Structure 1
Amino acid sequence: MCSTAGTKNILDELDINPCIVVQAQRAGYVSASHILGASQTELEHKLGLSAFHIKNLIAAVTSHVLPKKLTAWEMAHESSNDVTHLTTGCPRLDDFLCGGVTLGSVTEVTGQSGSGKTQMALQLALHAQLPPSCGGLGAGVAYICTESQFPLTRLQQMIPHMHRKFPRGPYSYTDNIFVHHVPDMDNLVDCVQYQLPVLVSRHGVKLVVIDSVAASFRAEDSREVNKSALIQSLGYQLHQLAASRALAVVAINQVTATMGATSLYGMAGDTAPALGLSWANLVTTRLMLTRTHSNIPAHQVTQCRNDGAQCSNGGSDPISSLCHSDINNSKTQMSLQYNVRLMDIVFCPWLCRKIAAFIVNEEGIRGIDEDEIYMYASVLRNDSL
């Protein structure tokens, strides 16, 4: 406690019986340091008050100088007006995830190559820059690459669709995505521990993407003991950053081959998320993306419920008109097909185990009509046999 706060007269700021205040002033016990530095017996003798009144005085002074204590109920209602989720850019998937990607936690997106992991990360990076009225965070994005170059070409393909869908959105989507390349696991941990907090503070970053978390750790198989410690450190730092800054952390993970036995989380098949339990225990939510052997005609996707919900900041609703225009003006649209992919909630504290179907088109990730989810969910089970 600083000396100024310790000697300040705080009696008039306390919500206690006025008689206690009068007695304390008469005895010269007016500051927090003077009152809390005395024993209860001394205060009873000097102030001429009962033990009950002295306990009330000490409790009032303690509450005045210490941070306010909140119950869980108070904390929940105090932050009820704050943004708690980042939109995925697809209303169907937002509904599936009960709002989108949660802030203040670590979300892992895992799956085989080509399942749509990076597509989802790019879509989140674009929508994070939108204002909260559009489901975004109105903030910057930190994108950490570990295994390849940042997919700038694909990002630039998606940006024109964002401009048409949200004409009042950011003028430049690329200026607020801060890309950093790390070559190995030591640099990744150091980046998250030292460089990332500075970037978050200076540029108002609210979304952190690591693509991918497994690549740097897989490169050094000879250091198993140190690897486990670094994984623990990485997970701890990500959780601390997410919780303290109320931002979303999305960690892309690879898969590894298994012998076909059912995993700890009831996942059957010949692949499982990389890094094992050391990393799995540090993840709040795990989403598994899977490619299927099924395709869906493009015209069937465009006739589904419009995913371009109107933004309250004046955004237009162009997707339906654009798609139907393509159908009317191009015969190739009728023959174009999209591969059906599945998003499986493997575990999440507030969501049950369920599966959603989606496709990746020119604009990004788009959910498939709910009537078709059950049909494609069976494909996942067949593919995993």
Structure 2
Amino acid sequence: MEKIPDITSDTLDKLRKLDINSVYQLAIQSPSELALEINDVYFDVESAARLIGNTRKILIENKILSKEFSTGDDLLEKRNKISRYSTGSSHFDAFLNGGFETQSITEIAGEFGSGKSQICHTLCAAAITLMKNDGLDANDNGCSTQRAPESIIFIDTENTFRADRVYQIAEQKNLDPKDILKRIYHCNVYSSEQLELLINDLPKSIEQYNTRLVIVDSIISLHRAEFSGRGTLAERQQRLGKMLNKLRRYADI
């Protein structure tokens, strides 16, 4: 982060105290939230927006993010590079034009018992086959550095994840179930506040575990249970909207 234009050592120290340690984590921050967390009279929303803007420019220069204004052919090239994760069903994949898109959010909706969690379990096994297992990444000198194998984060708010079910699905597909389970990082969540904190800190976990797919099953159940009645609807929707907006920003990078 030292290479970010106009960043001071004092700001760097404050960012690290907030556990923001990379350009990726900084680029997806909200200016208003960052200014509030730093809590410095000399670091207002405008300063935060300028800092985040400079950070995003670095990612744009390295072709990790799209330019602020892109031509149609640039966007077409980006679309053509998007890969898809299979659902495990050829018919379902055909319905989704090849499977679940990367760099996007996909919502699975349906009645209780309709198979939403089953799709998530199947996706865990199928998606791993498209991920790298060598954990190698090129550094600035063109040399390879060791990273964790690409992985999946499974955020579980309804206690639906079953490792034995993923094991069975992997065996049915002639995959190595133990390798797949080692690369799934599961977290049980018990309250809406815990879920919001987890989503807020998700970039750190994504970098730590070299994650390529995040599954949340489900994102609305805790808020639906805790914010009942029409009087709490506005707050519930606002808090859900904030989480979805953060997930959208994470997916963009």
TM category (shorter chain) comes to 0.5 to 0.7
In the TM superposition, 1:78-97 aligns within 5 A as 80=80, 82-97=81-96
Instruction: Judge conservation of contact 2:156–2:188 (CA < 8 Å) in 1.
Output: yes
Q: 1:154 is matched by which residue type in structure 2?
A: R
Select the residue among 118, 122, 141 that pairs with 2:152.
141
User: Secondary structure at the residue paired with 1:143?
Assistant: strand
CA positional deviation for 1:157: 2.2
Distance 2:5 2:163 in 1: 52
SS of residue matched to 2:159: coil
Counterpart residue number, 1:102: 101
TM alignment of 1:1-385, pairs within 5 A: 67=61, 70-77=70-77, 80=80, 82-131=81-130, 139-162=150-173, 164=174, 166=175, 172-194=179-201, 196-222=202-228, 223-244=232-253
Distance 1:2 1:86 in 2: 37
Q: Distance in 2 between matches of 1:151 and 1:172?
A: 16
More helix by share: 2
Deviation at 1:233, TM superposition (A): 0.5
* Whole-angstrom distance in 2 between the partners of 1:70 and 1:170: 42
Unaligned runs of 5+ in 2: 7-59, 62-66, 133-148
**Cα distance change of structure 1 residues 185 and 132 upon mapping to structure 2, 3 Å threshold:** closer
Structure 1-normalised TM-score? Answer: 0.41
CA deviations on 1:116-164 (whole Å, 9 max, x unpaired) are 111100111111111369xxxx8311100112252223222223213x2
- Aligned partner of 1:107: which letter? T
Cα distance 1:73–1:228, how it changes in 2: closer, same or farther (>3 A)?
same
| Residue 86 (structure 1) shift | 1.0
**Aligned residues of 2:154 and 2:187 also touching (Cα < 8 A):** yes
The share of aligned pairs that are identical, in percent, is: 24
Shift of 1:234: 0.9
Q: Is this contact kept in 1: 2:166–2:177, CA < 8 A?
A: no
CA contact (8 A) 1:128 1:206 kept: no
Superposed displacement of residue 170, structure 1: 7.1
Q: For each residue in 1:81-115, what CA deviation from the matched residue of structure 2 results, as whole angstroms up to 9, or x when unmatched?
A: x3421111222221221110011221111111221
Gap change, CA 1:129 and 1:198, over 3 Å in 2? same
Work out the CA distance in 2 between the residues paired with 1:106 and 1:122. 17
Q: Hey, what's the Cα distance between the residues in 2 that align with 1:76 and 1:188? A: 35
Distance 1:156 1:78 in 2: 34
Structure 1 gaps of 5+ residues are 4-65, 245-385
In structure 2, distance between residues paired with 1:145 and 1:241: 19
In the other structure, the counterpart of 1:27 is none
Query: Which protein has the bigger strand share?
Result: 1
Q: Distance in 2 between matches of 1:147 and 1:2?
A: 44
SS at match of 1:107: coil
Q: What amino acid does structure 1 have at the position aligned with 2:121?
A: L
Taking the aligned partners of 1:181 and 1:87, their CA distance within structure 2 comes to 25
1:254-280 superposed Cα distances (whole Å, 9 cap, x missing partner): xxxxxxxxxxxxxxxxxxxxxxxxxxx
Cα-to-partner distance string for 1:18-66 (whole Å, 9 max, x where unaligned): xxxxxxxxxxxxxxxxxxxxxxxxxxxxxxxxxxxxxxxxxxxxxxxx9
Rounded Cα–Cα distance in structure 2 between residues aligned with 1:224 and 1:85: 35
Q: Is the 8 A contact 1:186 1:230 kept in 2?
A: no
Q: 1:52 corresponds to which residue?
A: none
Judge conservation of contact 1:106–1:242 (CA < 8 Å) in 2.
Answer: yes
Instruction: Tell me how far 1:229 sits from its aligned partner.
Output: 1.6
RMSD across aligned C-alpha pairs, in angstroms? 2.7
Q: For 2:222, what is the secondary structure of its paired residue?
A: helix
Question: Size of the alignment, in residue pairs?
Answer: 172
